[in-house]
Amino acid sequence: MFNGKSVLVTGGTGSFGRKYARTLLDRYDLKRLIIFSRDELKQFEMQQELNTPCMRYFIGDVRDRVRLMEALRGVDYVIHAAAMKQVPAAEYNPMECIRTNINGAENVIAAALDCGVERVIALSTDKAANPINLYGATKLASDKLFVAANNIAGGRKTTFSVVRYGNVAGSRGSVVPFFEKLIAEGAASLPITDPEMTRFWITLQEGVDFVLKNFERMSGGEIFVPKLPSIRVVDLATAMAPGLPQEIIGIRPGEKVHEVMCPADDSHRTLEFADHFVIQPSIVFFNRDQKYDVNRLGEQGVPVPRGFEYNSGTNPNFLSIEEIRAFNERARK
Ligand SMILES: NC(=O)c1ccc[n+]([C@@H]2O[C@H](COP(=O)([O-])OP(=O)(O)OC[C@H]3O[C@@H](n4cnc5c(N)ncnc54)[C@H](OP(=O)(O)O)[C@@H]3O)[C@@H](O)[C@H]2O)c1
């Protein structure tokens, strides 16, 4: 579906954006691929690795609607990945997080509608489900904006959906590179915030493939959630450094012991498919068909039981220490 199309990725120089760009270029014959982000150095470095004739590098800030409007002209599909995503940074700089994650989302929506973009997917996170930190709260607000945008579209053709997933193994600023650095520096122990802590675990390539698939599945308004394995953080530490002591340092501000992707309070509108869930919109759209139990690929979903919660702590699918090691190896590719 991407052959001959123009695609723009906000946050195109980030962990997701780079993998997404490479995957699109490997698999499709695009008309244009626009990388939209702020920092010229990250763009310069990415250009050294990836610079085909269809690629355009745009310096721009999602807080700047005018710039987004220029960038989105003639674009068919948008993936919105730009975000401020470090939990502590968001707690200490709340307005900056709100400006990027909420005002930025509003600007992407307005520009996409104005430019007649066909489909938009916004990346969300498990931290947006029952949020307890500002990062998660801003991503929940962003999710709500993207779902409601299908209504705001009125008669216009643009459809908006959300993809929500868990921790990306090895992404910038995450626990894997943090542990790797400590191990390389010869640390005497690895810090564990809580011995019970669990996380949903996904590779970047799986995240990218899930997003690409959902461009085909979406009819607008869905929050797509992949079925993922969970890991125990203590098992991750053991997989990365067997025999190295683990020091319990206590939970950090804004951190949860377990993450949730589908909250129990949304169970009455959650559908289960073979490899994913769909949380249906809580609002009625005026101009749109809202039948989500059969998607555009013909896949069928069934309602989950009332009270069902998709939680990293109660997930039936946990990776063993050996499986985490193999998973992390795969995540490097
Ligand atoms: N990594 C994970 O574990 C994870 C898990 C679930 C969901 N997600 C979501 O996935 C998305 C991508 O995450 P990632 O891991 O790729 O993040 P990342 O590596 O930190 O990349 C973020 C990207 O956004 C750009 N950016 C930040 N602020 C911007 C702004 N105001 N205007 C334009 N561009 C801006 C950054 O480039 P500049 O700084 O140069 O602008 C960079 O290209 C985010 O929405 C995140 O919430 C991530």
**Domain-embedded: residue 275:** yes
Beta strands in 5-66 (DSSP E): 6-10, 32-37, 55-59
**Domain-embedded: residue 246:** no
Split into its structural domains, the chain has a count of 1
Active site (annotated) includes residue 256: no
User: Rounded to an integer, what distance in angstroms lies between the CA atom of residue 118 and that of residue 51?
Assistant: 25
**Domain-embedded: residue 59:** yes
**Domain-embedded: residue 18:** yes
**Domain-embedded: residue 333:** no
CA of 165 relative to ligand 1 center, distance in Å: 14
Whole-prediction pTM value? 0.96
The CA-CA-CA angle for residues 231, 138, 318, to 5°, reads: 10
Report the CATH number that the domain containing residue 99 is assigned in CATH: 3.40.50.720
User: Rounded to an integer, what distance in angstroms lies between the CA atom of residue 52 and that of residue 249?
Assistant: 47
**Domain-embedded: residue 248:** no
* Nearest atom of ligand 1 to the alpha carbon of 126: 6
CA of 307 relative to ligand 1 center, distance in Å: 32
**Domain-embedded: residue 274:** yes
Could you tell me the residue range of the domain that residue 33 belongs to?
6-166+200-227+260-312
User: Rounded to an integer, what distance in angstroms lies between the CA atom of residue 143 and that of residue 129?
Assistant: 10
**Domain-embedded: residue 188:** no
User: Rounded to an integer, what distance in angstroms lies between the CA atom of residue 204 and that of residue 226?
Assistant: 13
Residue 7 makes CB contacts below 8 A (sequence gap 6+) with 24, 30, 32, 33, 34, 75, 76, 77, 78, 79
Q: Ligand 1 pocket: which of 9, 16, 165 to mutate (most atoms <8 Å of CB)?
A: 16
Residues whose beta carbon lies within 6 Å of some atom of ligand 1: 10-17, 37-39, 42, 61-63, 81-85, 100, 104, 123, 125, 139, 165, 167-168, 171-172, 174
Strand-strand pairing, 32-37 and 246-248: unpaired
In tens digits, the chain (333 residues) has pLDDT values of: 899 999 999 999 999 999 999 999 999 999 999 999 999 999 999 999 999 999 999 999 999 999 999 999 999 999 999 999 999 999 999 999 999 999 999 999 999 999 999 999 999 999 999 999 999 999 999 999 999 999 988 888 999 999 999 999 888 778 999 999 999 999 999 999 999 999 999 999 999 999 999 999 999 999 999 999 999 999 999 999 999 999 999 998 889 999 999 999 999 999 999 999 999 999 999 877 789 999 999 999 999 999 999 999 999 999 999 999 999 988 887
CA of 158 relative to ligand 1 center, distance in Å: 23
CA of 179 relative to ligand 1 center, distance in Å: 21
Q: Which amino acid residue places its CA nearest to atom 2 of ligand 1?
A: 168
Q: Are 60 and 68 in contact (CB under 8 A)?
A: yes
Q: Which amino acid residue places its CA nearest to atom 36 of ligand 1?
A: 11
**What distance, in Å, lies between the first and last C-alpha atoms of the chain?**
25
**pLDDT tens readout for residues 287-312:** 777 899 999 999 999 999 999 999 99
